[in-house]
Structure 1
Amino acid sequence: MYENMVDVLIYLYETYMDGESAPPEDQDALENELFQAGFTSAEIDQAFTWLDELASRMESTEYSSRGLPAMRIYTDDECLKLDLEARGLLLFLEQGGILDPLSRELVIDRAVAIDQTMVSVEELKWIVLMVLLNRPGKESALSQMEDLIYGDQSVYVH
């Protein structure tokens, strides 16, 4: 059995986002497939709602980068959801050019939207991947994020 709805997102990405397989056109058939794969109805519903909200935010987001350096200050709720290591990952990804400020904000928004106490670094990587997948023109950043997830390289320099 899977642990949470992030596992549904991972399953969908690994099963359908590689371009080799297409998801069923009917949402009921996809839900049935996910249920057969071991996900609960609640996890499936949460994942679909999460993806719908991501799409909605992608349509309504307007941002113009002024190229000015800025520091992101996290709210108390964000700090509870994203520990120091997770926030460090976001800073690393932004400094490395994988995340731009808008993508970072979308990642934080989607991480906070997950119905669990904390989001692990591994889960956060998948959230970043899903956000980048839905951002046109971010193919290079998406590829770099896939390398971080699937590659053996460490994210942090010690």
Structure 2
Amino acid sequence: MFDILMYLFESLVHSESEIRVDQDELTDELIRAGFHHDEIFKALNWLEKLAALQETSTTPYLSKPITSGVHRIYTHDESLRLDVEAQGFMLFLEQAGVLDANTREMVVDRVMEIDASEFCLEDLKWVVLMVLFNVPGKENAYAQMEELLFEEPEGPLH
């Protein structure tokens, strides 16, 4: 499922052509690309839920801002998916201004819905990028995250 999400994000979102929203055409394209129908359905459902996160009637994430400066305590299930390294990275993104408390919760929501047996820091970075791309007004945060994801560091990191 995650491979499909990355394929869609890389090929459709960053393409110069208009993004197709016809689910049947998109499903056919993904099948031609070699993906299985069940995984395609899960990925498209994941994307629909991502889009729904910004609708204030279905989710509190954007309708009621979360107080900043509050430390996030992860549940047991969240800690199983987001290890200490991932949690530290999320904290770093908040301190760097890439994520705020609301977008952090959107990321956690989407991470917990990923249907994959393994989830690593690189996967988390892609989920953050997808969430920021989907939230209006977060263009600068998206650009910062894109730089973190794609630019090679020069010299040692401290």
Specify the TM-score bucket, using the shorter chain as the normaliser: 0.7 to 0.9
1:35 paired to 2:31: yes
Aligned to 2:65: 64
Aligned to 1:26: 22
> For residue 6 of structure 1, what is the aligned residue in structure 2?
2
Whole-Å Cα distance in 2 between the matches of residues 91 and 118 of structure 1? 21
2:94/2:101 contact within 8 Å kept: yes
* Poorly superposed stretches of 4+, deviation over 4 Å: none
Work out whether residues 82 and 118 of structure 1, in 8 Å CA contact, stay in contact via their aligned partners in 2.
no
In structure 1, how many angstroms separate the alpha carbons of the residues matched to 2:92 and 2:144?
A: 13
Identity of aligned residues (%): 47
Partner of 1:150: 150
Deviation at 1:30, TM superposition (A): 0.9
1:6–1:153 Cα change, 3 Å:
farther
Measured after TM superposition, the shift of residue 22 of structure 1 is 2.3
Pairs within 5 Å for 1:35-114: 35-59=31-55, 60-61=59-60, 62-67=63-68, 69-114=69-114
Amino acid at match of 1:83: D
How far 1:19 sits from its partner (Å)?
4.9
**Conserved 8 A contact 2:110-2:127:** yes
1:59-81, Cα deviation, whole Å (9 max, x unpaired): 133222544x2110000000001
Q: Provide structure 1 residue ranges, at least 5 long, that are not aligned to the other structure.
A: none
How far apart are the structure 1 equivalents of 2:142 and 2:13? 12
TM superposition shift of 1:137:
0.5
* Alignment partners' CA distance in 1, 2:21 and 2:127: 24
Matched residue SS, 1:22: coil
Q: CA separation in 1, counterparts of 2:27 and 2:74?
A: 35
Whichever residue aligns with residue 58 of structure 1, its letter is Q
TM superposition shift of 1:11:
1.1
> Following the alignment from structure 1 to structure 2, what is the Cα–Cα distance between the partners of residues 112 and 102?
16
Deviation, 1:92, is 0.8
Per-residue deviation, residues 65-119 of structure 1 (Å, max 9, x unmatched): 544x211000000000111111111111111000000000000011011122342
- Structure 2 unmatched ranges of 5 or more: none
